[in-house]
Structures are given as C-alpha cells and as structure tokens.
Amino acid sequence: MTSLRYMLYQLRKNPLSIIGIVIILTFIIIAIFAPIIAPPPEGHIDPYMIPRYGYSPIPKPPSEGHIFGTTEGQYDVFYGVIWGTRSAFRVGLIVIGTVLAIGIVLGSIAGYFGGVIDEIIMRITDIFLAFPILILAMAITVALGPSLDNVIIALIIASWPAYARLIRGDILAVREEDYVEAARGMGGSHLRIITRHILPNSIYPTLVMASLDIGAVVITAAALSFLGLGAPVGYVDWGQMISWSRNWIVGPPGNPLAYWYTVTIPGLFILFFVLGWNLLGDAFRDILDPRLSRK
C-alpha cells in the first residue's frame, strides 16, 4: 500500500505523467459517450460501420454537417475517429488481457516448478520470439484469413511469450524468499502458494508493463488494418481510415494540401492515444526504477 501511495505521489509530481493521464481519461470519455458525441444517422443499422454520404471517391472538406470532412467514398471522418476510439480500446484491452492471462499461467508454472517443464516452456517462447512481431502477426493473419478478430488472435499469439518470460523471471526472484518457504512449511498447496504468496509479490512490474503495452498493440493493429489485413471495409478503425487517404496525400496542382484532413485527423487520434499510454509508462518506469528515482 505504501508503495502505491508513493507511486501516486511521484505521478503527481511529474507534469508529463499528468498529461498522459488526462489524455487517456479523455479517450475513455470519448469511447463511453460515442453515441452522444457522434450519434449515428437515423436508420443506420450498425453503429460500428461508418455512415456514408454519397459514393464520390473525392474527399470533401470539413463543413457544417461533417466537421472533419468526408474521406474517399464519403465516409464521415468525425464519426469514424470518435467510434474508432472504441475499436482501439477493444483491440488493446482484449489483446493485453488475454496475453496477461496466458503469461501468468505459463510464466508461473515455468518459474515455480522449474526443471524440465520450465525448459520446455522457455524453448517454446524462444521460437515465437525469433520473429519480429509485425511479420509474425502478418503471417498468422494471412493464414487465418484477414479480419479484425484474426488480427487480435495474431497479436495474442505473437506477444504472449514476452509476458511469460517476464513473469517467470519475477517469480524466480521471489521463489526462495522466507515467506514462501514458510507457506510451504505450513502445508500450503502449490496453487495456494502461487496465487496467495508469490504472484502478489511479483506481478506488479508486469501489470505496469501490460498497461503501457496497450499503445504498442494499438499501433500494430492499426498498421495491419492500414496494410489491408485488418478491419472489414467501412468498419470504425483508425488504421483503415488512414489507408483511405493514401490516394489523396497530394491535392490538385495549386492546392497541394487540399485533402489534409483525410490523413491528418485519424493519424492524430492514433498518435495521441499511443502517446497517452507511453507518457504514463515513462513515468511509471522512472518511479519503479529505484536506482534513478530515490536520490
């Protein structure tokens, strides 16, 4: 408890981390109140599909009805970026949540029991870690068939090993502590020792890392959608919205920035979303690293 209070105190002292918290809170509010901020037009069936206002390929600049303009195919940019916040949270939270669960189970088994089982689990993680994440995720998505759900599955498969390793390492560090010995001596079962004594004392850094990794996951998912392997056409997704702007980077002669809104606005949403998590992460890392913080 003291360390939590100490952490909050440190967080408050660091202006950058406050900016991070504000950014994340703003996005949470946007995600929750999406139906109020950008109400779907009447008769629109699926709110997770961006409404279209015509079929012309040429983007239209911001106007009264569409404050961020419309992009290629007349998809409303404002609606897309607001509802896209929900997709970003969904992908980030599902991937990180699942990866944490897998990591905790396999990491504790490997770290606690050691021996052959540890060796097997660690060699398996070695294999997955032999690939750059984007490449592995792309290969898996292609093998499963491109869709947003398969992007989520691919990201989970590509990122669990890092967590399993981290948790294993942290468990190794506390496995031989006196209080674990004591629990063992009192006849506690393995499950009880792991969940009641070891995990509460070793899981902290992993949880922090997980919360920061959400930004990285969202960037990779957006990249996959941008490359045409993720969200179905028309789905509220920031990466896909940027891919629609690819043909409109350069405007007509004499007005080269005519279509700036198609690429700039969705990109800024991704940038700020990821920046929020990273600012928070940087602050956490400084606080958790005792060599740097308690001088």
Partner 1 sequence: MELRAYIVRRLLLIIPVLFGVTLLIFALLQLFSPVERVALYVTNPRQFASVPDMIAKYGLDQPVWVQYGHWISQIFQGNLGWSKVVSQPVTSAMLNFLPATLELAIFATPLIIFGGIFLGSKAAAHKDKAIDHATRLGAIVGYSLPTFWLGLMLLMVFYGLFTGLFPPERLSTEMNIVVHSEAFTQYTKLHFLDAILNGNGRVLLDSLRHLVLPVITLTIVSMAFIMRLMRSSMLEALGKGYILTARAKGLDESTVVSKHARRNALIPVLTVSGYIFAGLVNGVVITETIFNYKGLGWWFWQSAVNLDVSGVLAFALFNGVLFVITNLVVDLLYARIDPRVRLGGKVT
**Per-residue tokens: 283:** 């602050």
The one among 199, 229, 231, 236 contacting partner 1 by CB under 8 A: 229
Q: Minimal distance in Å, beta carbon 186 to partner 1?
A: 33
Q: Which residue stretch of 36-44, 52-60, 91-99, 269-277 sits at the interface with partner 1 (rule: CB under 8 A)?
A: 269-277
Q: Does 41 bind partner 1 (CB under 8 A)?
A: no
Is the Cβ of residue 137 or residue 198 nearer to partner 1 in the bound state? 137
Helices 77-113 and 148-175 meet at what angle, rounded to 10?
A: 30
The one among 49, 81, 155, 279 contacting partner 1 by CB under 8 A: 279
**Site residues (CB under 8 A) for partner 1, limited to 8-37:** 16
The one among 25, 32, 139, 173 contacting partner 1 by CB under 8 A: 139
Alpha-carbon dihedral angle through residues 158, 160, 161, 162, given to the nearest 10 degrees: 100
Distance in angstroms (rounded) separating the CA atoms of residues 114 and 107: 10
Q: Does 149 bind partner 1 (CB under 8 A)?
A: no
Is the Cβ of residue 49 or residue 153 nearer to partner 1 in the bound state? 153
- Site mask for partner 1 (CB under 8 A), range 159-198, x = bound: ----------------------------------------
Number of residues that bind partner 1 (CB under 8 A): 53
Site of interaction with partner 1 (CB under 8 A)? 16, 123-124, 126-128, 130-136, 138-144, 146, 215, 219, 222-223, 226-229, 239, 242, 245-246, 249-251, 256-257, 260, 263-264, 266-267, 270-271, 274-275, 278-279, 282, 289, 291-292
